[in-house]
A and B are shown apart, each in its own frame.
Chain A
């Protein structure tokens, strides 16, 4: 018996993107449809294979008939939709969003942000230095994970990854309201005293580097983090029989970071402490 499970068949929908007809499978988001058509939209809080957070509002597009701008990351494509990705209104909105975000949050470790700021002509400094959120020191209370609240967008992806969408540990949550809201653990305890299981899945979904692994943080602090020089290799974890795929980031023949490919059929972008951090033992080379 040779049967391949194909899942539920998906229709192809016809819609127009910036006046050009495109076809997208039923259930895809406008962001996916745009990317499939070769139009990349700026998006911060979007993480592949995760439920959209719709928080950063950078990917907004105009949809004919819709009064407000819609977030392309969460809006599903519908037949006959007329979508405009690059209008005066979307550009203006993105520029303001970039200015608001970049003036209040430390985006120094956010990939792509400098290019977008230039592309949209954003001037984050026009709100003055007072706009910046009160700088908090990085929280280094363990040897594996570092939290930097000053870089946090409050998009909530880490909270979902820690909770019902992946880990089911529910250590991270958003506390406080408005400007006082922040991501933390119960009673604001050190991570080692919290429910945290150190899987590091929150690091993989964090768009700004507010959550990072200690090895990366230390190299960045020392000024020796050199991402372009890093080799990236996908392999399989050596710890248990589940067989999660790992992406090893190697700089100067040292594993400096481990991430989980989101399209892995085994792990779906999740890992545990052993896969994420259990590689030091092969590097004892003195």
Chain B
């Protein structure tokens, strides 16, 4: 069954191997499959890449990156879900030194202004948005910045419906207005930031009228948001994939952080920056070092002290340079720099099948027979991290929580940790862990930020947020309070303003492709092929505003062809008044239901490697009438 749906596919219940390039996958014993995997990976040493999983536990991600670094001797480890969060991590880490949201959920209930930027949290993160609404009931003013007037905006005091891909222009205009109105927090800027003069010069051209022209947001609305945000005692900016899924996602994140630096809305209770992750353990995968440039606990691969700590703990020599990130790994697959890949719980095949086919050796460790598994030489059946194994995951507020085994995995499927250890043993590294807790205790011993989180404490306190350096204290729920310290030594490194320029989306609309297609989530869909069994309502659609529907003469339910410069796909029409003329919407990459991945733009963020999913130029064509005979 060569299908990709996580919803409809049966689970993998036993290992599969392939006897030759053109042979089909056949059932194998665990010993045979693991021996083959070890043999293939041994040959691929020196050209290896590990694709870790943002749905797997911290413990699995820790072992996955340790496997890459210790067993395979490379920093080539990354997660396919970088696209959802890497830009936030990269932006926050560049400014503050650690790539986590600076606030906690609880603070949003006690703040004065909440800006939901590029985030339809009402449907994408409903339970978080309930807490935003608590804040709104407590008197907080909510602003929604989103091309669509989506259901989050229905609760907002102001909706700034910007043109897709003009976030930086809007942020700069807000920054300029704050400076011009004398509302910048000069004391904070002076004491805790650097690069303010350059920032002031950078945003100077972004007058409200220019911004109105570029972003499509009326000048008074921009002014209102600027003043509300700057005048607030406490304020939060929350964002999601609307900010990060651009070719310049990291730059957009920097532009938003600039606003917080300008007004001092960071490092205090109730004031902060809150990126929301799309997957359950995106944050944890990064924290555990399943990224090419950081070791567990956000320690830089190039930092000599950190290297020393890990080299002695792991009894190995670490490669003295950053590894390849996801985008680079896929590029190297074509040029031969990456020959063998271990893909753990991810399914990149729908967009990268050609490159995966070029590999010498591919191991897939997954719950399902995905289309990536169909390309693999060895397929290892694994467990569902959140319900079939013990461990921890880390949420968007940096809270590490215990996940527990509730059901037995089907057939011969095995825990990710066991599989990785067995494979490491076959490659000459006698890894023995008594279980997830033993792995976690090793994480604690190498990551000072996680040291204080024993399983017992995580259980008793219902999760703990990092940093947690001691076993008997709890840190404040917000990060970077140091920026407000009186003593310059305690204040530490100044937070630099990000000097980023507005660049329009790579894929421009023109006469041939007049419509801007943007993507997002619907309440009952989750990206990567609806993980849940059957929405009670409807399937996948391309959504148009009523005006465009009339213009193209299409009705609800009608199938149309949408074509971009990259490809085309047939999909049904839905009409949504949240949209406006020239803007179409569809849910994120659902390769099984439709091929939205195909027509979206292939440009990537140069810093974080995130993909441009939010801004594709398309056209809509009615399908020719077909008469079926017989």
Contacts and interface: CB of A to CB of B under 8 A. Distances in A.
Given A266-B399, A270-B130, A284-B10, A245 B462 contact: yes
A243 B155 CA distance: 23
B74 to A, nearest CB: 28
A271 B397 CA distance: 17
A197 B123 CA distance: 9
Interface in B190-214: none
B481 A270 contact: no
B280 A238 contact: yes
Contact of B282 (A241, A255, A272): A241
Interface stretch (B225-233, B441-449, B471-479, B554-562): B471-479
A261 to B, nearest CB: 8
B406 A273 contact: no
Interface in A254-275: 254-255, 263-268, 270-275
A235 B280 contact: no
B6 to A, nearest CB: 5
A179 to B, nearest CB: 32
A240 B533 contact: no
B473 A281 contact: no
B296 interface: no
Interface residues of B, number: 70
Interface stretch (A2-10, A61-69, A106-114): A2-10
Given A1-B481, A248-B406, A253-B408, A274 B532 contact: yes
Contact of A199 (B126, B269, B367): B126
B451 to A, nearest CB: 14
B524 A238 contact: no
A242 B387 contact: no
B343 interface: no
A22 interface: no
A243 B280 contact: yes
A192 B402 CA distance: 34
B536 A239 contact: no
A3 B477 CA distance: 9
A243 B384 contact: no
Interface string B481-499: 1100100000000000000
Interface string A213-256: 00000000000000000010111111111111100101001110
B532 A280 contact: yes
Given A242-B127, A244-B127, A248-B406, A285 B280 contact: no
Interface string A11-46: 000000000000000000000000000000000000
A177 interface: no
B124 interface: yes
A192 B8 contact: no
A116 interface: no
A271 B537 CA distance: 19
B10 A286 contact: yes
B393 A250 contact: no
A197 B395 contact: no
Contacts of B482: 1
A96 interface: no
Contacts of B531: 238-239, 274, 278, 281
Given A236-B393, A237-B386, A248-B406, A243 B526 contact: no
Nearest to A273: B524
B460 interface: no
A144 B526 contact: no
B408 A3 contact: no
B7 A266 contact: no
Interface in B386-419: 386-388, 393-397, 399, 401-408, 410-411
B45 interface: no
B462 A235 contact: no
B476 A263 contact: no
Contact of B137 (A144, A164, A236): A164
Contacts of B127: 242, 244, 266-267, 270-272, 275
Interface string B345-388: 00000000000000000000001000000000000000011111
A23 to B, nearest CB: 24
B277 interface: yes
Contacts of B7: 280-281
Given A248-B406, A285-B13, A255 B396 contact: no
A271 to B, nearest CB: 7
A241 B476 contact: no
Nearest to B482: A1
Interface in B454-482: 462-463, 473-477, 481-482
Given A168-B133, A240-B526, A255-B406, A282 B282 contact: no
Given A198-B536, A241-B276, A272 B126 contact: yes
Given A235-B386, A242-B125, A282 B403 contact: no
B231 to A, nearest CB: 25
A280 B531 CA distance: 8
Contact of B130 (A167, A198, A231, A277): A167
B278 A241 contact: yes
Given A192-B537, A238-B384, A241-B278, A1 B406 contact: no
Nearest to A265: B462
Nearest to A261: B462
Interface of A: 1-5, 142-144, 164, 166-168, 191-192, 197-199, 231, 233-245, 248, 250, 253-255, 263-268, 270-275, 277-286
27 contacts: A1-B481, A2-B474, A4-B473, A142-B536, A192-B537, A197-B126, A198-B524, A234-B404, A235-B406, A236-B395, A236-B401, A236-B402, A238-B384, A238-B387, A239-B526, A240-B278, A241-B396, A242-B125, A245-B462, A265-B399, A265-B462, A266-B463, A272-B523, A273-B523, A273-B532, A281-B6, A286-B10
**Nearest 6 pairs between A and B by C-beta?**
A243-B395, A241-B277, A280-B533, A278-B532, A238-B386, A233-B406
Given A240-B278, A266-B395, A281-B6, 13 more contacts: A4-B476, A143-B536, A168-B133, A233-B405, A236-B403, A238-B387, A254-B407, A265-B462, A272-B126, A274-B523, A281-B7, A282-B407, A285-B410
